[in-house]
A and B are shown apart, each in its own frame.
Chain A
Amino acid sequence: MTGDLAALALIFTQLSLLAFGGGNTVLPEMQRQVVEVHHWITASQFSAMFALAQAAPGPNMMIVPLIGWHVAGFPGVLVSSLAKFGPSSLLTALALHVWNRFQDRPWRNAVRAGLAPVTAGLVAASAVVITGASAPSWSLALIVAGVAAAATLTRLHPLILLAAGGCLGLYGIGQP
Chain B
Amino acid sequence: MDGSARQDAPSTAGLFLGFFQLGLTGFGGVLPLARRMLVERRGWLTAEQFTELLGLCQFLPGGNIINLSVAVGMKFRGVAGALAAILGLIAAPTAVVIGLGVIYDRTQDDPHIRHLFAGLSAAAAGLLVSLAVKLARPLRRSAAGLAIAALGVVAVAVLRLPLLPTMLVLAPLSIALHARRAA
- A residues contacting B by CB (< 8 A) are 14-24, 26-29, 32, 36, 44-45, 47-63, 65-66, 69-70, 77, 81, 85, 88-89, 91-93, 95-96, 99-100, 106-135, 140-141, 143-152, 157-159, 161-162, 164-175
A119 vs B149: C-alpha distance when bound (angstroms): 8
Asked whether A120 and B136 contact (CB < 8 A) given A56-B93, A111-B175, the answer is yes
Q: Are B115 and A169 in contact (CB under 8 A)?
A: yes
Question: Interface majority SS on B: helix, strand, loop or mixed?
Answer: helix
Q: Are A88 and B67 in contact (CB under 8 A)?
A: yes
> Which 3 pairs show the lowest CB-CB distances between chains A and B?
A169-B119, A165-B123, A121-B152
Q: Are B128 and A123 in contact (CB under 8 A)?
A: yes
The residues of A that contact B132 with a CB separation of less than 8 Å are 120, 123-124, 126-127
The residues of B that contact A121 with a CB separation of less than 8 Å are 148-153, 156, 170
Q: Are B130 and A147 in contact (CB under 8 A)?
A: yes
Question: Interface majority SS on A: helix, strand, loop or mixed?
Answer: helix
Q: Are A120 and B67 in contact (CB under 8 A)?
A: no
B interface, size bucket: 35 or more
Q: Are B179 and A114 in contact (CB under 8 A)?
A: yes
A60 vs B28: C-alpha distance when bound (angstroms): 7
Q: Are A129 and B27 in contact (CB under 8 A)?
A: no
Q: Are B66 and A61 in contact (CB under 8 A)?
A: yes
Asked whether A93 and B126 contact (CB < 8 A) given A44-B121, A56-B96, A169-B115, the answer is no
Output the nearest chain A residue to B78 by Cβ-Cβ distance: A93
Q: Are B122 and A92 in contact (CB under 8 A)?
A: no
Asked whether A113 and B117 contact (CB < 8 A) given A16-B61, A93-B74, A147-B130, the answer is no
CB distance from A24 to the nearest CB of B (A): 7
Apart from A52-B100, A128-B153: 14 A-B pairs, beta carbons within 8 A: A48-B104, A57-B93, A60-B29, A77-B98, A92-B71, A93-B70, A110-B175, A116-B145, A118-B167, A118-B174, A121-B170, A147-B122, A152-B130, A158-B29
The yes or no answer to B97 lying at the interface (CB within 8 A) is yes
The residues of B that contact A124 with a CB separation of less than 8 Å are 132, 135-136, 149, 152-153, 157
- Chain A to chain B contacts (Cβ below 8 Å), 29 pairs: A17-B61, A18-B167, A54-B127, A57-B26, A58-B23, A65-B97, A77-B94, A96-B71, A96-B75, A106-B179, A110-B178, A114-B175, A114-B176, A115-B171, A121-B148, A121-B150, A121-B151, A122-B156, A124-B152, A128-B157, A129-B157, A132-B157, A143-B126, A144-B126, A165-B124, A169-B122, A170-B112, A174-B118, A175-B118
